[in-house]
Chains A and B, each alone.
Chain A
Amino acid sequence: MKAKFLVPLFLFLGLAGFLAFGLTLNPREVPSPLIDKPAPAFTLARVDDPAQQFSLADMRGKVWLLNVWASWCVACRQEHPVLVDLARRNLVPVVGLNYKEVRGDGQLDARGMALDAETGLAVERARRWLGEHGNPYVLSVLDIDGRVGIDFGVYGVPETFLIDGNGKIRYKHIGPITPENLQQVILPKVEEVRRAG
């Protein structure tokens, strides 16, 4: 048995080891260290009127959802009808965090773009998208450089955070919300948080 003929076997066994370990991980869930901690404070410009600011403190006393989205995010399109439906039913206010609208889009090259120009483009793109797909948000804010996203530990879009009246994050949903997720997990959580608060 020559050593070189064992190479494929060892490569495969290494791969199998990774796969076995992979089975213990859930690729869709990243435990968030922020659960039951105060949500990172932010103050950002609004999509509907960039001259106005919105900050976390504005929602104090309310139980609400912070939904991270962007017009380049394909999965957001998938969850969007669910959010529009949620808004129609008026069950819980949803604030949109528009995440890296311009520089997050792999199709655009935003390097060297002035911040003003980038903000203008982001506002235009975000509004057009909301116009086309419906606007389920009480309001949306612009996270142009993604710094607030980083504070919230956003690693993929869409993500949704449930925030209570004291500004604490109580639940985090990763990936697009399906009607089942909403009915079976998110809305019961909202109820639970409301009752507790």
Chain B
Amino acid sequence: MIPELGHFSLVLAFVLSLVQAVVPLVGASRNRSALMAVGRPAAQGQFFFVAFSFACLTWAFITSDFSVEYVALHSNTATPLYYRITGVWGSHEGSLLLWALVLAVWTVAVTVFSRHLPDVFLARVLGVLGCISVGFLAFLLVTSNPFERLLPGAPEGRDLNPLLQDPGMIIHPPLLYMGYVGFSVAFAFAIAALLSGRMDAAWARWSRPWTTVAWVFLTAGITVGSGWAYYELGWGGWWFWDPVENASFMPWLLGTALIHSLAVTEKRGAFRSWTVLLAIGAFSLSLLGTFLVRSGVITSVHAFATDPKRGLFILFLLVVVIGVSLLLYAWRAPRLSGGGSFAFVSRETALLGNNVLLSVASASVLLGTLYPLFLDALGMGKISVGPPYFEAVFVPLMTPVVVLMMFGPFLRWKGDSLGPALRRVAPAFVASIAVGVGAAFAIGHATPRTMLGLALAAWVVLASAQQLVARLGERPGAASAARLRGIPSAWWGMWLAHLGVGIFIIGVTLVGSLNQSLDVKMREGQRAELAGYSFVFRGVQDAAGPNYDASRATLDVSRGGVAIATLHPEKRLYRAQGMPMTEAAIDIGPFRDVYVSLGEQLPDASWIVSLYYKPFISWIWLGCALMALGGIFAASDRRYRKLAERSAPAAAARQAA
């Protein structure tokens, strides 16, 4: 009964999304406020029914209702409750339902937080979001109904993929989807602006907090996913350039370009058509990511559902959504040229430079991801593109991004003279090269890659410090606390996020250079040494989990005779799927992780143990966390609330002049 209610409620949500898609858009084009007003209640109703439907599916999981096929395939009575709940989005149908729910959440957020938007504009935004909902709800109902019954019901379920039975998986997909789908709001704002032909500073200001919040979620989602890969896959790596990872990274790169481009459009009225194109692009890449993950055109270690019929449906959706918006762009964008003019040496140029570089980086990831498909389609054979390509392309593209990123804030808007600006940054720039080269020699790893990485990181840190000092010096006389408070939170956002990039580079560089690992055969009482740490193997016990049996090893880790940690890596066999899993044990420290994973048992009762020493790896995630925190600061700037109350068109006219 409950699953049928869930299904029915999904149908109702679909009907409401049709209303939400059509009525407000018609109302906006005919200027009928009664029709436009339908958008808000339709969106809220749609959210209610999608959420109810989601709750029904969750209920089926909690109660282990194996007469629902999806539940029977992805849950088990022995699965712990929290993994039964996360099992809801453990596979294709449920994750699409999550997609639809997240879209509904964003739409409702727009209806709640955009009271100040002009009615016509809001109606168009809701209409566009409604169109996307129609597409995804139809996709769910037609090809991927999660409530499909399995009659007679299965006596026991097949359990969730053990890889996904992990705390990281509880939050990774929702965060990632909040990010992916969140770009739909920026997209809807851009399309609404194209439809109305009004793309001004006000439009940019309205979209900015939405875009930044979506970007924060995406950053957090990718970070958690990378952390999950690090400790769950047991290879000690944190990024594999896998097509599915790339699918989330491409919208992130373009989204990063978009938030910067929106800043220029808001402050200076420039880059308008470029900003619109980025907004369309970021969401298009999110959709493309969904297509790549869900259709199986690209092989990946993540190999999820692969069903060509579903692939065809998403492709159709992709062509309609992206095709129509790009057509609209081609039609309307030519009117957008102009805007604030700026000199060659100006903050605008620096931002434009980074925009272009980030877009090229995004395109190169796309090329690398789809290249096997291109060659295959052209009958030129089957190949795979791996990390060497991405690393070779990425380092040269990102180096100027990082240099410009710290140089840009020293430049004035509109125009600056190069000489004084260069003189301002020259000491920090020279010092960072010296620090980079010196530090590389100091750690005994003087390769060009290490020097470059450390110099870039030093540049970020030194320039950040210089920016902070300069900013504090802007109001001489005031008490330093007042000066700190006087800095707008948007500025702190930029500063933190940029500093986060520096911290991230330190982590990536050092873990790449100083990482050590050892695969060793160990029996009880044996000792192994790695990077100054000793590991004593204390044997393996059997341990039973709720839905798995494990061999649990004990290793004492010490350094210089001082005990540091006792680690328990496990080898698990999940009963329902008969799938072996490696559960690594990690001693996390601020400057290094010690990572142990348990391999096979050998006939002579010894075990293969993989030991890893990973210096500064936490800095990778610390850097990402700072970027996300920066985004939160930027989005919470008071300006958005204050300016929202002012009459937007007046501000727009002023800005465009």
Contacts and interface: CB of A to CB of B under 8 A. Distances in A.
Interface of A: 1-2, 5-6, 8-9, 12-13, 15-16, 18-25, 27-28, 30, 74, 81, 106, 131-134, 155-156, 179
Nearest to A179: B578
B319 to A, nearest CB: 5
Contacts of B280: 8
A1 B318 contact: no
Contact of A132 (B295, B370, B376, B519): B519
B599 interface: yes
A23 B600 contact: no
Given A18-B374, A27-B296, A155-B382, 14 more contacts: A1-B330, A1-B334, A5-B273, A9-B323, A9-B330, A13-B319, A19-B318, A19-B373, A21-B377, A24-B308, A25-B373, A27-B297, A132-B519, A132-B608
A131 B607 CA distance: 11
Given A1-B330, A133-B600, A23 B370 contact: no
Contacts of A5: 273, 329-331, 333-334
Contacts of A30: 382
A12 B284 contact: yes
B90 interface: no
Contacts of B521: 131-132
Nearest to B308: A23
Contacts of A15: 370
Most buried by B among A27, A74, A131: A27
Contacts of B327: 9
Contact of B297 (A6, A8, A12, A22): A22
B580 A22 contact: no
B298 interface: yes
Interface in B53-78: none
A106 B315 contact: no
Given A1-B334, A131-B602, A19 B297 contact: yes
22 contacts: A1-B330, A8-B277, A9-B326, A9-B330, A16-B315, A16-B318, A19-B291, A19-B315, A19-B373, A22-B297, A22-B377, A24-B308, A28-B299, A81-B580, A132-B519, A132-B600, A132-B602, A133-B600, A133-B608, A134-B600, A155-B381, A179-B578
Contacts of A13: 319, 323
Nearest to B366: A15
Nearest to B299: A27
B323 A12 contact: yes
A86 to B, nearest CB: 14
Given A9-B329, A9-B330, A22 B376 contact: yes
Nearest to A25: B376
A155 B384 CA distance: 10
Interface of B: 235, 273, 277, 280-281, 284, 291, 295-299, 308, 311-312, 315, 318-319, 322-323, 326-327, 329-331, 333-334, 370, 372-374, 376-377, 381-382, 384, 386, 388, 519, 521, 578, 580, 599-600, 602, 608
Contacts of A133: 599-600, 608
Contacts of A6: 330
B334 A2 contact: yes
A183 B521 CA distance: 32
Given A9-B326, A133-B600, A23 B382 contact: no
A79 to B, nearest CB: 12
Q: Is the interface of B mostly helix, strand, loop or mixed?
A: helix
A27 B373 contact: yes
Nearest to A80: B600
Q: Is the interface of A mostly helix, strand, loop or mixed?
A: helix
Nearest to B376: A25
A22 B333 contact: no
A20 B291 CA distance: 11
Nearest to A81: B580
A27 B608 contact: no
Contact of B311 (A16, A23, A131, A156): A23
Contacts of A8: 277, 280-281, 326, 329-330
Contact of A23 (B295, B519, B578, B602): B295
Contact of B377 (A1, A18, A106): A18
Contacts of B318: 16, 19
Contact of B322 (A2, A12, A131, A179): A12
A106 B392 CA distance: 14
A85 to B, nearest CB: 10
A156 B370 contact: no
Nearest to A74: B235
Contacts of B608: 132-133
- The 10 lowest CB-CB distance pairs between A and B, nearest first, are A9-B326, A22-B297, A5-B330, A27-B299, A21-B377, A6-B330, A132-B608, A22-B373, A23-B311, A2-B334
Nearest to A129: B519
B371 to A, nearest CB: 11
A23 B326 contact: no
A117 to B, nearest CB: 22
Contacts of B599: 132-133
Nearest to B291: A19
A23 B295 CA distance: 7
Nearest to A128: B519
Nearest to B295: A23
Contacts of A20: 312, 315
A12 B326 contact: yes
Nearest to A2: B334
Contacts of A22: 297-298, 373, 376-377
A131 B519 CA distance: 12
Nearest to B374: A18
Contacts of B370: 15, 18
Contacts of B600: 81, 132-134
Most buried by B among A5, A6, A24: A5
Given A106-B386, A132-B608, A18 B373 contact: yes
A152 to B, nearest CB: 15
A25 B377 contact: yes
Given A19-B315, A133-B608, A27 B382 contact: yes
B216 to A, nearest CB: 27
Contacts of B388: 106
B359 to A, nearest CB: 11
B395 to A, nearest CB: 17
